[in-house]
Structure 1
Amino acid sequence: MTLVSALRRASVAAILFLGASAAQASVAFHITVTTERVNKPGVKTSLPARTTQESDVVLGEQYLSVRDGKALSVLDFATRRRHVIDMAASTYDTYSLFDVAGFRVFELRHRQGIAGMLKAGGLEQHATLPVYEEQALSVLDNKRRGALLPQLLDGAVLWSLDKHPLLRLGIAGSPVSGDDATAFAQYVRYSWGGHPLVLKLLADGNRIPADFTLHYEEVGGKVARHFRISALTAGAPATYSLATYRPRPLAAAAPPLERVLAQAALLPPLSPQAHPALRAEAEKLFAAEKPFEAFLTMLEDHFSTGALVEKLSLQQQRAMQECQPIHDLTRGLQAKDKEGIADALATVQELRKRTGLEQPVLALFEGNLRAKLGQWPEATALYLQVLQAKPQMAAVYQDLGDALLAQFDAPNAWRSWDAGRAMAPSLRQFRKVNDLERSLLNDYPAFFADAKAVQPSTSRPASSTKTEGSTNLP
């Protein structure tokens, strides 16, 4: 079978792979996924009892692609990027691969918190069993588990963990290399979840099964996903190309978040003259006997370039020491308890009225205080206000990303962090996200099993709308 006919049989968009090398062949197949839900008595839901999804999958060298109708997703493990392609419009959005694992870990902690509250209230029967949270998210909750145990069925094996069925695996299948079996498990992980032990079983099997079923349990009932693989070929291209597509343009009615992140993706690193210019502005304000405004300008310099507030003359130091608004601001920002933070918020709001609501550093501080109070939408709006006025105030992208992740928008959180790091990669504010990425690589290596890059990604995505870390989670 020729490469072209293999791609036609798998119904994969050949145009994506123009220029791809055929020296190393990988696997392509068609997959039909039927989801069946059985709700508990009295449970009302808008989710249908039965749905079917048809996809075409390519397991390439260091990438995999999934086509669902006019949408094509490509996961690139070498660059740790994922591309979501609108084939009808010939456009694409790019995201960080870290946002998937990051979202799953964050979501698991959220679900654990809910389960803890239900247990404390004597309502633990309404919490999903941890083993099925792990099945949905492909992330372990650090509880000790036994081994998967098999039960022979007619033409299949049912694998259970702690007596909970997770995988019904058909006996029939196609032998493949260990790399292709690992890539198949990756497809399941990213598209549908799957318990880490189940995914390891699939990866170690050196075959792609003809059919299998994943079992889930939710608060509202039980879910079974039946997978059937067909049209499997071993002639898929080893690489891919985005040359025939273009980054998705910004829509005229795009919301502020999308506008800010799209603009950030196009900005160059700060000019070497940025620090001298801001420091010169602070010197002018000191000379005009405006120490508070000079202090805010030096903070803007710090949040943009990383420059420290230092090399002050004795006169400037004295002016700052005698400036009551500086004392009020710094004391308020050190508040730890909820009451103290609320008082600090009132102080910053009053200072903004005196100085001007457009003052970016004070707007940033109000956003940070609202974030500490859990007022995430309000904090997000303030961060966007700052970045609309000062798009190269790099540190703000860290705070914006934190606020977005707290609202379960992991894709845009990483877009924000990537934009800030591209502008000022050495800024100390980004140590936290760098550490987070290192911990994801260390603690959840299976999500990055095929990646060769060793540095946290700082490439800048083209654009995106909000998506979930996995669109098919139960």
Structure 2
Amino acid sequence: MPLRASGEQTALRFSYSFTQQKEKESENLTQRAVRLGEDYDLVTTKDTRILTDYRLCRVFIWKTTETDFANQSCYADPAFRPLELQNRFALVDLLSGAMGKDKQPTKLEARFWQEQELSVQLEDSSPLTTKVTSDGTEWLLGQQVVAKISKSGLVLNPKERQPFARFLARNLTLHPQVRRAIMDSGILPARIEVTRQAMAGETSKDIHVFANVERITGPYPLPANLTSDLYKKAQEETPSGRMWRSSLKAATGADNLNRPTLDALLEQMKSASARKSSLETTLLFLKITQVFGGEISANPTTFQKIRAAIVAVQSDIGAGDAEALWIANKLAGERGEGKEREDLARYLANASELDKLDFGTFRYLTFSNLENMTKDSEKWDPKIKQAMPERADRFRIHIAAQPWGSNAYFDFGNQIFGEYDPWEAWQIWDLGRAIDPDASDALMARIKRFEGNLRKQQPDSF
């Protein structure tokens, strides 16, 4: 069954102008054309198209003069907003403490401006009051008018309300209390004015005008000749480019790059043990647990098969020349400190010979986890970390060499998300889920729950 209908679909279409007025600056006018379908919206500027598909939960962005397009998750933007709002609240509290009492805004006022700026709240509240005028409704923060909503506009039918709510939530700097009221009214207003205030106190005004509103029918507006810009990234001879290249091949089966079977890996592990190669045996054991982690937890038969194979080779796992790697991997999952951890980190940083072995690049992730879980890692000999690639490249090197199994994608996405880039984080998570058919039963289940919570917490955005 196709994911999208191929025929004509009904949509709401209008022109939308956005004027920003700042003190001591000339007006800045942006004009857009907007189409709101039941499960997508399309925002068009002079040479750029932004298509948000809510059925697929993707955001496609392309220029009319190019054939590459950005393919992002529709969860990224809603995830960023509360994360950034928490930071803004902390900064507001810090700045307020540095001001004299006569200059301090109230906590309600200070937080309102940030909630409005990001169009989201961490907790529902209604800080504004209203005043009905002959032209519409004014919204007041204390005595200050912070928004004006015109009385005139188009009465939306029930199916058009959620598409318009999504458009407001994702495209306008509008406080959630005002947005909720607009949706409760059931009217697409002809004009919305919003007063904004920066942390430094400067004010500006946004004027949003909606015109030429009409109901139309038309095809789904994604051109057929576009290519994901990930393929352009995959052409780069960098750790990032090599990661995307290997991952995309794994996800699509290009160049006959197929996921290794469990039986094949078990046979390789038995063969390594028969050769008395403890290091290869241990690496293959780690590969099995990483690649088939989801299936191990979900399928008792798979678990028993792996367990039986491990019993046969157990004396070689973590023994001999694999002992340091095995202990490092164990300690990388536990909080602690001390010289043993530093010595193991030094071993991992200098064990370049491992990279030539199947799954040997796992040392990079073991090093990162050991560093994260060691309380005094900042006291390590600086030469240790200097011998390792930067943190993100450790993941890229390993994934490029071993694109199977979602755990590495989960951890890497978490790191990128923690650096306030949810857009790339979701690209990594989504690719990991596409590659690993059992990802939903492993760590990636946490991302699915995160996405479900975003839908519950920010229903206007979906």
Alpha-carbon RMSD: 3.5
Q: 2:17 aligns with which of 15, 22, 32?
A: 32
Structure 1 window deviating more from structure 2 (156-165 vs 103-112): it is: 156-165
Deviation at 1:55, TM superposition (A): 0.7
1:300 aligned residue = 287
Gaps of 5+ in 1: 1-16, 40-47, 449-474
Residue-by-residue CA offset, 1:39-71 (whole Å, 9 max, x unaligned): 9xxxxxxxx664221111011221111011111
CA contact (8 A) 1:83 1:95 kept: yes
Amino acid at match of 2:451: E
User: Aligned partner of 2:49: which letter?
Assistant: L
Partner of residue 381, structure 1: 393
In the TM superposition, what are the counterparts of 1:74-473 in structure 2 within 5 Å? 74-115=51-92, 129-142=110-123, 145-146=125-126, 148-153=128-133, 155-161=135-141, 165-220=145-200, 221-237=202-218, 239-248=220-229, 249-250=231-232, 252-253=235-236, 256-257=239-240, 260-261=243-244, 263-268=246-251, 271=258, 273-306=260-293, 310-311=307-308, 316-320=313-317, 323=320, 324-326=323-325, 328-336=327-335, 339=337, 344=341, 347-354=344-351, 356=353, 358=355, 359-370=360-371, 378-427=390-439, 428-448=442-462
Contact 2:245 / 2:400 at 8 angstroms: preserved in 1? no
CA distance in 1, matches of 2:371, 2:163: 43
Distance in 2 separating the partners of 1:19 and 1:314: 55
323-332 vs 356-365, greater mean Cα deviation: 323-332
Partners of 1:60 and 1:236 within 8 A in 2:
no
Structure 1 residue 190 displacement after superposition = 0.8
Unaligned runs of 5+ in 2: 297-302, 379-384
> How far did 1:355 drift?
5.7
Question: How far off is 1:213 after superposition?
Answer: 1.2
Deviation at 1:322, TM superposition (A): 5.2
User: Which has more helix, going by share of residues?
Assistant: 2
- Greater alpha carbon shift after TM alignment, 402-411 vs 298-307: 298-307
Offset of 1:247 from its aligned partner? 3.6
Q: Is the 8 A contact 1:145 1:162 kept in 2?
A: no
Contact 2:62 2:69 in 1 (8 A): yes
**Cα distance change, pair 50–256 in 1 and its aligned pair in 2 (3 A):** farther
Q: In the TM superposition, what whole-angstrom CA distance separates every residue of 1:85-144 from its partner, at most 9, and x where no partner exists?
A: 2211144222211112112232223333444555677899599822222212222122x6
Question: 2:54 & 2:239 partners in 1: Cα distance?
Answer: 31
Cα separation, 1, equivalents of 2:310 and 2:63: 58
Residue in 2 that maps onto 1:469: none
Distance 1:131 1:404 in 2: 29
CA distance in 1 between counterparts of 2:369 and 2:292 reads 19
Question: Residues of 1 paired with 2:310 and 2:156: CA distance?
Answer: 71
SS at match of 2:221: coil
Post-superposition offset of 1:84? 1.0
For 1:63, which of 37, 40, 60 is the aligned residue? 40
Give the direction of change, closer, same or farther, for the CA distance of 1:18–1:272 in structure 2 (3 Å limit). closer
Q: Shift in Å at residue 193 of structure 1?
A: 3.6
Quickly say closer, same or farther: Cα 1:313–1:438, change in 2 above 3 A. Answer: closer
Residue 44 of structure 1 is matched in structure 2 by none
Cα deviation digits, residues 380-427 of structure 1 (max 9, x gap): 110001112222243211112111111222111111111111111323
Specify the alignment match of 2:299 in structure 1. none
* 1:401–1:158 Cα change, 3 Å: same
Write the deviation string for residues 291-328 of structure 1: whole angstroms up to 9, x where unpaired.
24422221122222325663356674344465542553
Distance 1:343 1:169 in 2: 65
Q: 1:400 to 1:228 in 2, by over 3 A?
A: same
Comparing 181-190 with 113-122, which one deviates more in the overlay?
A: 113-122
Q: Does structure 2 conserve the Cα–Cα contact (< 8 Å) formed by 1:292 and 1:325? A: no
Distance between the aligned counterparts of 2:89 and 2:371, measured in 1? 25
Task: Tell me whether 86-95 or 306-315 shows the greater mean CA deviation.
Answer: 306-315
- The whole-number CA distance in structure 1 between the counterparts of 2:168 and 2:241 is 30
Q: State which drifts further: 56-65 or 437-446.
A: 437-446
Match of 1:5 in 2: none
Instruction: Give the whole-Å Cα distance in 1 for the aligned partners of 2:283 and 2:96.
Output: 47
**SS of 2:166's equivalent?**
helix
Q: Quick one: distance in 2 between partners of 1:130 and 1:432?
A: 30
Q: Distance in 2 between matches of 1:68 and 1:313?
A: 60
CA–CA distance in 1 between the matches of 2:238 and 2:28?
A: 32
- Distance in 2, Cα, partners of 1:237 & 1:279: 54
